[in-house]
Amino acid sequence: MAEAVWSTDTGEAVYRSRDPVRNLRLRVHLQRITSSNFLHYQPAAQMGKDLIDLATFKPPQAASGHRPDEEEEEEVIIGWQEKLFSQFEVDLYQNESACQSPLDHQYRQEVLKLENSGGRKNRRIFTYTDSDRYTDLEEYCQKITTSAGEAPSFLVERMANVRRRRQDRRGVEGSKLKSRIITWEPSEDFIRNSHAINTPLQTMYIMADLGPYGKLGYKIHEHVLCVLKVDSNGVITVKPDFTGIKGPYRIETEGEKQEHTSAWKYTIDNVSSLAQPEEEEREQRVFKDLYGRHKEYLSSLVGTDFEMIAPGALRLFVNGEVVSARGYEHDNLYVHFFVELPATNWSSPSFQQLSGVTQTCVTRSLGMDKVAYFSFPFTFEAFFLHEDESDESLPEWPVLYCKVLSLDFWQRYRVEGYGAVVLPVTPGSHTLTASTWRPMELGLVAELRRFFIGGSLELEDPSYVRIPGTFKGERLSRFGFRTETTGTVTFRLHCLQQSRAFMESNSLRKQMRSVLDRLEGFSQQSSTHNVLEAFRRARRRMQEARESLPQDLVSPTGTLA
Amino acid sequence: MAPRDKRLSSTPLEILFFLNGWYYATYFLLELLIFLYKGLLLPYPTANLVLDVVMLLLYLGIEVIRLFFGTKGNLCQRKMPLGISVALTFPSAMMASYYLLLQTYVLRLEAIMNSILLFFCGSELLLEMLTLATFSSMDRI
C-alpha cells in the first residue's frame, strides 16, 4: 500500500513551447514524511485538506516538544533562471574573501541585501542557475547509462569528492586553466569531448537542503529535485516530469544516527500563466500583417508584367558575341556580320538592325596561329509565324553570315574570308566556329595586286556562301569558282525561345483525355443500343406467340360447338 | 576623291616604290662606305668630301619624302601627294646625275649604282604620269 502512493517514474519529459521561456513558472512543494502525517496523506491538488489535518494534530506535537512545522514543509514558486540562495551560499558570500569572480561579487551584493531586508523567503529549497559553476560540474559527472548497477570509477569518485567543497573546486578550475591552455596534439577523445554541441542548452537545477533541523548549510545534504534544460528552439526538458495527477516523488536521506534518517516527498507543478485571448489575437494579427507585407514586397519585386506573344508564333531572342578570329595572314582584322532571315514566315521588329561591324583588332601569336580577340556583343530577335498548318515542310532557320577583312596603314582593306553558321535550333548557350574562305583569282598578277594594292575580289552577294538568294533549280553548282581556305571565326550565341505552343502541349493532353471521354461515351451508347436490340427481339417473340395462340383457342371452340 | 569602288591604283608603280625603297637603303649605306674608302686612300680635298657627304644626306631626305608621297598618292588615290612625288623626282634625278658625273672621284661601282637609280627615276616618273592621268580622267567622268 505504501509503494502504490509514490511516483517511481523519474524519467525526463520533453516539451515544446513557442512562448518565451521566461514565462515559465514552477511550483515546488517539499514535505517531510513522518509517522503522524503519513496516515493522512492527500494529493497535492488538495492542499487545503492537508493544512486542516495538520492543524488538528498541532497541539499534541507542541505538547510533546517536537520540531515546528515550518521546517517540515515548504512551497516555492520559481521562475526561469531565478536565483534562490541556499544557507551554504548565504554563509559563503557574507565572507568577502570568498568572492573572486564578478558573479561572486554580484551574489554577495544580493545576499547582503537579502539579509538586510529580512532574510530569505525559502528555507530548504534553492536553485542553481545556468551561470553557476554547479551546472558544469554536474554535467561532467553524470552517469552514461540508466542501469542501477553502474559503479562510478576512481575518477568519478574523486570528482564527486571535489564537488563537496567550494575551495577545492575553485582550486581545480584554476589549475585546469593554467595547465592546458593550448593542446598541441589533441587526441581523438579530447576532440570528441571538447567539441561544442550544436544546440547550446541553458540549465537550471532546483535543489533541496535536506539536512536535519538546525543543521542547514552543508553541501552533503544537498539533493537535486528537478533539472530543467531549455535550448534556443523552444524545447524544454524536465527531469523528472511534472507530477500533475501522479503521486509525489520520494527522497530518503541517511544520517549519522537513526533519529536523523528521514524521508521526503515533493511535487512539481507547472503554474505558468496562460496567454490572454486578446493578447493571442493581437499576436496572430501581428504575424498575419508581417507575412502579408512580406508577400506584397516579394510580389512587387517580381512584377506582374509578362510579355505574351500571338498564338502560333515563335519568338527567337539571341544574345551573341563575336569571340575571336584565328589564322589569317594580315593584321588589323575586323568582321562584318549580319543575320539573314528566310523569306518565308520570318520577321523581325523594324527598329532593330540585323548587321554589325566589330572593332579593328591587332592579332597576337598564340601557338602557331595569330588570334584576334573581339569579344563584340550583339543582340537581335526574330519571330516565326506559322499561319498555314497544312504546310509540312521543315521551317528554315536564320543564318549568320560573316566576312573578315583586314585594314592596313593606308586604309586599304583586304577580304580575308567569308563564312556562315546556321543559328542553333535548341535554346541555350552555344559556341560555334565558322570556317572561312576567300575567292581567289588565278595568276601571279592578281596576288601581286592583292599584296601591294589590296582590295581583292569580293562577293557581290554574301549569301553565296551558302545558297544564293537568286538560286532557282534543284542543283547548285560552283564549278569554276576558285577559293582559298583561310582561318576561322568563333561565335558564342545564347538563344531564348518563347512560344504559346510550348504551353499548349499540356492542353493537347487534355484534348486527348476528352477524346477518351468521347470513346467512353460511345461505348456506353453502344451498350444501350444492345439492350434495346434485345428488348425488341423479346417483344417480337411475344407478338409471334400471341398470334399463334388465338388459332389454338379458336379450334377447340369449334369442336365444342 | 576617286570613287571608292574603283581600283585605280597602279600595281607596277607600287612595286617600283617598294623595290626603290629597299634599293635606296642599300645605296645609301654603300655610298657612306665608299666615301670612307675614298677619304682614306685618295687625296680627297676636305671641302669636296664634306660637300659630297652633305649632298648625300640631302639626297636621302628627298628620296624618303618622294617615296612616301608616291605611295600615299597611289594607294589613297589622291592627286596632290602624287604630284608632290612627281615634282621631287627631278631633284632626285639631278642628285643621281651629280654622283654619276660631277663628283670628285667616280668609281665604276658608283657609276653602275647611280645608273640604276636613274632608271628607277625614269620608270617611276612615267608610271606616275600615267596614274595621274587615270585619276584625272576618272574625276572628269
Does B72 fall in a domain? Answer: yes
With a pLDDT cut of 70, the percent of chain A lying above it is 71
The tally of domains found in chain B comes to 1
Contacts of B76 in chain A (CB under 8 A): 410-411
Give the phi and the psi of residue A483 in degrees, each rounded to 5: -135, 160
Same domain, yes or no: A265 and A326: no
Does A115 fall in a domain? Answer: no
Identify the H or E element spanning A115.
helix A102-116
Contacts of A445 in chain B (CB under 8 A): 11
Query: Hey, is A10 helix, strand or coil?
Result: coil
Does A250 fall in a domain? Answer: yes
**Residue A37 · residue A55 · CB < 8 Å:** no
Domain CATH number, residue A443: 2.60.40.150
Percent composition of chain B: helix, strand, coil (DSSP 3-state, to 5): 85, 0, 15
Cis peptide bond N-terminal to A43, omega within 30 = no
B18 close contact with A: CB closer than 8 A: yes
CB contact under 8 A, B76 and A410: yes
With a pLDDT cut of 70, the percent of chain B lying above it is 94
**Rounded Cα distance, A133 and A103, in Å:** 10
Residue of A nearest to B11 (CA): A449
Does A76 fall in a domain? Answer: yes
3-state SS record for A379-409: EEEEEEECCCCCCCCCCCCCEEEEEEEEECC
Domain enclosing residue A436, as ranges: 313-469+480-520
Cβ contacts below 8 Å, chain A against chain B, sum to 21
Same domain, yes or no: A243 and A354: no
* pLDDT per residue as tens digits for the range A101-130: 888 888 888 888 888 887 777 778 888 887
**Residue A269 · residue A78 · CB < 8 Å:** no
Query: Per mean pLDDT, which range of A170-184, A447-461, A482-496 is the poorest?
Result: A170-184
**Rounded Cα distance, A206 and A83, in Å:** 10
Whole-Å CA distances, A188 to A184, A185, A195: 13, 10, 10
Does B119 fall in a domain? Answer: yes
Residue A13 CB neighbour total at 10 angstroms: 12
**Rounded Cα distance, B31 and A48, in Å:** 137
* pLDDT per residue as tens digits for the range B19-42: 999 999 999 999 999 999 998 988
Per-residue pLDDT, A199: 57
Same domain, yes or no: A342 and A271: no
The position carrying cell 601569336 is A365
Does A102 fall in a domain? Answer: no
**Rounded Cα distance, B141 and B135, in Å:** 10
Same domain, yes or no: A2 and A80: yes
**Mutation site, A453, A456, A458, interface B, largest B CB count within 10 A:** A453
Per-residue pLDDT, A75: 83
C-alpha cell at A28: 515546488
Contacts of B1 (CB under 8 A, 6+ apart): B77, B78
Q: Which residue has the higher pLDDT, A190 or A16?
A: A16
What average pLDDT does the segment A363-378 reach?
91
Same domain, yes or no: A241 and A383: no
What average pLDDT does the segment A330-350 reach?
88
Contacts of B104 (CB under 8 A, 6+ apart): B38, B44, B45, B48, B49, B52
Same domain, yes or no: A261 and A322: no
Same domain, yes or no: A340 and A420: yes
Residue of B nearest to A458 (CA): B5
The tally of domains found in chain A comes to 2
Same domain, yes or no: A330 and A254: no
What are the residues facing A402 on neighbouring strands?
A: A337, A419
**Rounded Cα distance, A537 and A366, in Å:** 95
Does A398 fall in a domain? Answer: yes
Q: DSSP assignment, residue A361?
A: B
**Rounded Cα distance, A384 and A283, in Å:** 56
> Cα-atom radius of gyration of chain A, to the nearest Å?
49
Residue A103 CB neighbour total at 10 angstroms: 13
* pLDDT per residue as tens digits for the range B63-102: 999 999 999 999 888 889 999 999 999 999 999 999 998 8
Confidence of residue A260 (pLDDT cuts 50, 70, 90): low
A411 close contact with B: CB closer than 8 A: yes
Contacts of A460 in chain B (CB under 8 A): none
Q: Which residue has the higher pLDDT, B94 or A163?
A: B94
Does B2 fall in a domain? Answer: no
Does B41 fall in a domain? Answer: yes
C-alpha cell at B113: 649604282
Per-residue pLDDT, A3: 40
Same domain, yes or no: A376 and A429: yes
Residue A298 CB neighbour total at 10 angstroms: 9
Does B38 fall in a domain? Answer: yes
Contacts of A452 in chain B (CB under 8 A): 11, 14-15, 18
Contacts of A454 in chain B (CB under 8 A): 75
Same domain, yes or no: A323 and A465: yes
**Rounded Cα distance, B112 and B34, in Å:** 13
Rounded (5°) CA angle A445-A447-A452 = 95
C-alpha cell at A100: 573572486
**Rounded Cα distance, A400 and A421, in Å:** 5
Does A204 fall in a domain? Answer: yes
Name residue A255's amino acid.
Answer: G
CB contact under 8 A, A453 and B75: yes
Confidence of residue A232 (pLDDT cuts 50, 70, 90): confident
Does A402 fall in a domain? Answer: yes
Q: Which residues 440-479 in chain A show a CB within 8 A of chain B?
A: 445, 448-449, 452-455
Query: Hey, is B124 helix, strand or coil?
Result: helix
Domain enclosing residue B120, as ranges: 23-140
Query: Hey, is A496 helix, strand or coil?
Result: strand
What are the residues facing A202 on neighbouring strands?
A: A230
Does B5 fall in a domain? Answer: no
CB contact under 8 A, B11 and A448: yes
Long-range contacts of B77-85 (CB under 8 A, 24+ apart): B77/B1, B77/B2, B77/B8, B77/B9, B77/B135, B78/B1, B78/B2, B78/B135, B79/B132, B79/B135, B79/B136, B79/B139, B82/B128, B82/B131, B82/B132, B82/B135, B83/B132, B85/B128
Same domain, yes or no: A397 and A493: yes
Same domain, yes or no: A444 and A392: yes
Per-residue pLDDT, A45: 42
Confidence of residue B4 (pLDDT cuts 50, 70, 90): very low
**Rounded Cα distance, A399 and A309, in Å:** 23
